[in-house]
Chains A and B, each alone.
Chain A
Amino acid sequence: MSKPADLVQGTLDLLLLKIVALEPLNGFAISVRLKQVSGDILQVSDGSLYPALHKLEQEGWITAEWRASENNRRAKYYSLTRRGGKQLEKEADNWNRLSAAISQVVRIKEA
């Protein structure tokens, strides 16, 4: 279980954006889904989840709406904006380039 602190700076944003891109969810559901789709490897601590979500909202990459959740309580649901979609693309690209570069370095066979 890798702690968020081990993640490279900024990948939390990428992850959250991607989760929200799949379907609008509230904060709790986002953390559950992230755990789910990463096979329990990626977990974000509750304490850092909400500040991150709020920051994304301030940037205009996600937008929030209060809805009734399954048990009829009110929860704040986040969904991706168009600009957020572009940001997601950009960050995903960056990540791919970065991780490819790292993999390349790691794969170098010792001479």
Chain B
Amino acid sequence: MRPEHWIYTVPLRLRSLFRQKAVEQELAEELGYHVERKTEEYLAKGLSAEEAREAATREFGGVEQAKEECRDTRKMNWYQDLGKDLSYALRVLRKSPGFAAMAVFTLALGIGGNATIFSLVEGILLRQPPYPHPERVVMIWEKRVHENELTNPVSPADYLDWQKQSQNFSSMAALSYTPADLTGGAEPLRVPGATVGAEFFDVLGVHPALGRFFEPSEEQPGSNFAAVLSYGLWQSRFGGDPQIVGQAIRVNGKSATVIGVLPEDFRFPYNKVELWMPLTIGGEFAVIRGSHFLNVFARLKPGVSLLQAQAEMVGIAGRLEKQNPGVNRGHGASVLPLREELVRDIRPALNVVGLAVGFVLLIACANIANLFLARGIRRQREIALRQAVGASRWRLVRQMLVESLLIAALAGTAGCMPTVWGISGLADLLRQGGWEAPVPEFRLNGAVVAFLAVVSLGSSLLTGLMPALTSSQLDVVTALKGEGTFSRLFGSSHRLRAALLISEVMLSTVLLIGASLLLRTFFELRAVTPGFHGDRVMALPVFLNSQRHADPQRRVAFFEELMSRVASMPGVESAGGIDILPMSGEDSRTRITIENRAPSPNEPTRAHHRIVTPGYFATMDIPLQAGRTIQDSDTPTSPPVAVINETAAQKYWPEQSAVGKRFKVGGQTAWREIVGVVGDVKEAGLAEEVKPVMYLPLPQDPTSWWNVVVRTQRDPSDVGTALKSEVQAIDKDQPVGALVILNKLVSDSIASQKINLLLVGLFAGVALVLAAGIYSVMAFAFAQRTPEIGIRMALGANENDVLRLVLGQGAKLAGAGLALGMIAALGLTRLMRSLLFGVSATDPLTFVGVTVLLTVVALAACYIPARKAMRVDPLVALRYE
């Protein structure tokens, strides 16, 4: 029964809150009217105007006081009721501290867990990057549908055409990541850098803290080399020198002028770029259409929608495809908001984890609702009494809601602590796990606290409302007399309890299935061999900048000398080198042309491209399967050769030996002969498919990028320093990168799967514990059935009958929950598909396994109270009240 007086009182109370002045005026007017009428009466009796008014006022007995009391009646109702309910709730909870503690604890865990995940979601998905109107900043990618590549980098010629032909962007700029070697002055240092178009900072909407940003004239090759520093670099390497603008520094062997410094709060989300240089793609670069390495950023013009921009770019790309039929075949374009870039990879994981933790909260709420319900049944006499003396049902429900609100408020406050721990734990976990995207600073901020409050409120309603409504709906007289079997009194509450138990089992089922799938994924991944042995293998990156080592043969000579020095270092078992390490996140690939074979019209013939020295395969322990590996005899003057991996051999020369076959690399004119086939290496990661790879000898394909790979005899801690000194013995100004441990690369490549498993597994574990807490609820439930059980036993039912009765009921409920859970899981696990490896989202083994597990748990949870029920002495049961 909804009290209709709400229609009157709520507007009243709102009015006294918000229109106080009007209400005061009315009060004065109302009492004034009364005094006037009184005055008139006295006038009529013959007093003078003055005396009449005096008498009237005196009789009133203090107008101001009366006004005050009227005001009090308004306030009193509101606070008074709430205060009464609150103190009552406190008393009630204090009487059953065990229940209160358990409820608060359970709910705090659920709320805290959700708040932690929410803070992650908020930091990644919701918080906007710190630019003006960040939603208008987009990235434009090349899209190759038939190759399933939706975010491919762009070639310079395409980019320039895009820039010329598009109308929907107020600014557009390209970016290419390049490390920057800073020399001259202090120690040589390599920092992450980027070359960007002049409009880049306009796209983002950033203003310099010092100096200025690039001008279009600085994009032309041959102009004075300008550089912009990040705030951090300015402070750390240049001491925050206020005169830094205009100073010359040495970058990549060239002299550069510092023209500006970025503000301290500038964040470029993808890489911690410290040094920005102008992108020079004028001149000869402008016509390159086959080489794709640019990231394109743009800002939408005001009033232009993303869809409009997308449509325009698709049109432009189509035109370019027609104009450049060979090179641009199948190249479309896609426009994505900047934030997409950051979240794209982790959105499925976030969805799954968010759902999982939400389930945990729901299970906790169901548990507590059940407990409230059970308590409501125990308190039936108290409830009946209060109704008998006139409390309306609404008041009782409200009072019980205050109880659940109190518990939820306590739980929400208590939940702050696990949230704080959870957040820092999660941040550590992500960082250690080699999270690729930078970990956003997520912390207990206003949004998270607000979320905590909202979730607490929601939980209190969820846990308290139904039990309150159900408990207060009873037959007062019968309840007072303490008669009647419980099921007759509380039919609807039994149904509610059954529904709660079924939903708990259902949610737990889904969670357990999800966790099991992730567990199997993890084990499948761990069983995958990377194709090499990484024990005691380390690598040091060295990048030779093109200025100092312009001549390719000089670069080769440098690396070859380096390799021979390293190979003879004490403690080094074997050494080799490669330009791109496996699982490093970097890649290079080109088209190849196979001898005596026409290029296939639809799928380009490609291989991934690596450059090695002879010791590499031995150092990494990659098996040779046919022919020979790269040798010292492969020089610039000897015939061009290549070693390919097994996948390439199978793909391009199936059923034959690939050794002796020939192919051309990219646009080169010379045919290369395949001299050997080696085992596959999981270049892209343990979970990724192996692609065809070709390994070319360093002298025949000079490179500036290099990784010195060594396998040491023991695990020395100073390998890095030793390698570095070898490098600097050749050239004291040559910077090196950070030491890489191969095994860490391998484990980092499955870091995200590990994290997923940990999180979801944690939640599933909690869910299982809570669901096993069904036992405690079952215990209540069957304790309530004790009189029935006693009667049945008195009437001749033996222990087994009782056991069957109890187990049967429990099994029915659990079975319904399981069935529903299976159906829900079948639908929901497809959300997880991108997180799985080696196991399908509807893997039957997992489903069956979880069924068995939960059935066992459910039956055990029923069994214990069933045994207690069995042991009940019928006489005691009958006397039970």
Task: Enumerate A48-63 residues with CB–CB distance to B below 8 Å.
Answer: 48, 50-51, 54-55, 57-61, 63
B60 smallest CB distance to A (angstroms)? 4
Determine whether A107 belongs to the interface, using a CB cutoff of 8 Å to chain B: no
Q: Determine the residue in chain A with the shortest Cβ distance to B71.
A: A54
Decide: A50 and B31 in contact? CB cutoff 8 A: yes
Decide: A28 and B38 in contact? CB cutoff 8 A: yes
Binary contact readout B21-36 vs A (1 if CB under 8 angstroms, 0 otherwise): 0000010011101101
Decide: A47 and B12 in contact? CB cutoff 8 A: no
Q: Determine the residue in chain A with the shortest Cβ distance to B67.
A: A50
Decide: B60 and A46 in contact? CB cutoff 8 A: yes
Decide: B30 and A58 in contact? CB cutoff 8 A: no
Chain A binding surface SS class = helix
Determine whether A74 belongs to the interface, using a CB cutoff of 8 Å to chain B: yes
Determine whether B657 belongs to the interface, using a CB cutoff of 8 Å to chain A: no
What chain A residues lie within 8 Å of B59 (beta carbons)? 46
Decide: B66 and A58 in contact? CB cutoff 8 A: no
Decide: B33 and A75 in contact? CB cutoff 8 A: yes
What chain A residues lie within 8 Å of B5 (beta carbons)? 59-61, 81, 83
A94 smallest CB distance to B (angstroms)? 9
Q: What CA separation (Å) do A55 and B8 show in the bound complex?
A: 13
Q: What CA separation (Å) do A90 and B391 show in the bound complex?
A: 12
Decide: B61 and A60 in contact? CB cutoff 8 A: no
- Given known pairs A28-B37, A59-B9, A60-B5, the reply for A46 and B30 (CB within 8 Å) is no
Task: Enumerate B566-624 residues with CB–CB distance to A below 8 Å.
Answer: none
Determine whether A99 belongs to the interface, using a CB cutoff of 8 Å to chain B: no
Decide: A81 and B70 in contact? CB cutoff 8 A: no
Give the contacting residue for B8; candidates A47, A69, A73, A81; CB below 8 A: A81
Decide: A76 and B26 in contact? CB cutoff 8 A: yes
Q: What CA separation (Å) do A75 and B35 show in the bound complex?
A: 12
Decide: B73 and A54 in contact? CB cutoff 8 A: yes
Decide: A58 and B37 in contact? CB cutoff 8 A: no
Determine whether A24 belongs to the interface, using a CB cutoff of 8 Å to chain B: no
Q: What CA separation (Å) do A75 and B33 show in the bound complex?
A: 7
Decide: A74 and B29 in contact? CB cutoff 8 A: yes
Give the contacting residue for B66; candidates A51, A55, A59; CB below 8 A: A51
Q: What CA separation (Å) do A69 and B8 show in the bound complex?
A: 23
B38 smallest CB distance to A (angstroms)? 7
- Given known pairs A59-B5, A59-B77, A63-B8, the reply for A47 and B66 (CB within 8 Å) is yes
Binary contact readout B761-774 vs A (1 if CB under 8 angstroms, 0 otherwise): 00000000000000
What chain B residues lie within 8 Å of A47 (beta carbons)? 60-62, 65-66, 69
Interface size classification for chain B: 20 to 34
What chain A residues lie within 8 Å of B8 (beta carbons)? 57, 60, 63, 81
Q: Determine the residue in chain A with the shortest Cβ distance to B29.
A: A74
Chain B binding surface SS class = helix
Decide: B61 and A73 in contact? CB cutoff 8 A: no
Decide: B34 and A46 in contact? CB cutoff 8 A: yes
Decide: A58 and B9 in contact? CB cutoff 8 A: yes
Decide: B61 and A57 in contact? CB cutoff 8 A: no
Q: What CA separation (Å) do A27 and B26 show in the bound complex?
A: 13
B306 smallest CB distance to A (angstroms)? 53
Q: What CA separation (Å) do A26 and B61 show in the bound complex?
A: 19
**Quick one: which of A51, A58, A75, A83 has the most chain B CB within 10 A?**
A58
What chain B residues lie within 8 Å of A46 (beta carbons)? 34, 38, 59-61, 66
Give the contacting residue for B30; candidates A50, A59, A63, A90; CB below 8 A: A50
Q: What CA separation (Å) do A60 and B74 show in the bound complex?
A: 12
Determine whether A97 belongs to the interface, using a CB cutoff of 8 Å to chain B: no
Determine whether B4 belongs to the interface, using a CB cutoff of 8 Å to chain A: yes
Q: What CA separation (Å) do A35 and B29 show in the bound complex?
A: 23
Binary contact readout B64-92 vs A (1 if CB under 8 angstroms, 0 otherwise): 01100110111001000000000000000
Determine whether B3 belongs to the interface, using a CB cutoff of 8 Å to chain A: yes
A77 smallest CB distance to B (angstroms)? 10
Give the contacting residue for B70; candidates A54, A69, A74; CB below 8 A: A54
Q: Determine the residue in chain A with the shortest Cβ distance to B59.
A: A46
What chain B residues lie within 8 Å of A57 (beta carbons)? 8, 12
What chain A residues lie within 8 Å of B73 (beta carbons)? 51, 54-55, 58
Q: What CA separation (Å) do A83 and B8 show in the bound complex?
A: 11
Determine whether A96 belongs to the interface, using a CB cutoff of 8 Å to chain B: no
Give the contacting residue for B34; candidates A28, A51, A55, A59; CB below 8 A: A28
Binary contact readout A6-45 vs B (1 if CB under 8 angstroms, 0 otherwise): 0000000000000000000011100000000000000001
Binary contact readout B284-296 vs A (1 if CB under 8 angstroms, 0 otherwise): 0000000000000
What chain B residues lie within 8 Å of A60 (beta carbons)? 3-6, 8-9
**Quick one: which of B3, B34, B60, B61 has the most chain A CB within 10 A?**
B34
Decide: A50 and B4 in contact? CB cutoff 8 A: no
Q: Determine the residue in chain A with the shortest Cβ distance to B74.
A: A58
Q: What CA separation (Å) do A75 and B36 show in the bound complex?
A: 11
- Given known pairs A59-B9, A81-B5, the reply for A50 and B66 (CB within 8 Å) is yes
B393 smallest CB distance to A (angstroms)? 14
- Given known pairs A28-B37, A28-B38, A76-B30, the reply for A51 and B4 (CB within 8 Å) is no
Task: Enumerate B738-789 residues with CB–CB distance to A below 8 Å.
Answer: none
A79 smallest CB distance to B (angstroms)? 11
What chain B residues lie within 8 Å of A27 (beta carbons)? 30, 33-34
What residues make up the interface of A, taking CB atoms closer than 8 Å to B?
A: 26-28, 45-48, 50-51, 54-55, 57-61, 63, 66, 69, 73-76, 81-83, 90
Minimum-distance CB pairs A-B, first 8: A60-B5, A51-B69, A47-B61, A55-B73, A46-B60, A54-B70, A54-B73, A28-B37
What residues make up the interface of B, taking CB atoms closer than 8 Å to A?
A: 3-6, 8-9, 12-13, 26, 29-31, 33-34, 36-38, 59-62, 65-66, 69-70, 72-74, 77, 390
- Some 13 contacts from A to B, beta carbons below 8 A apart, are A26-B30, A28-B33, A28-B34, A50-B31, A50-B66, A54-B73, A54-B74, A55-B73, A55-B77, A57-B8, A58-B77, A81-B8, A83-B3
Given contacts A46-B34, A50-B31, A58-B12, 18 further A-B contacts (CB under 8 A): A26-B33, A27-B33, A27-B34, A50-B66, A51-B70, A51-B72, A54-B70, A59-B77, A60-B4, A60-B8, A66-B26, A69-B33, A73-B36, A75-B30, A75-B33, A76-B26, A82-B4, A90-B390
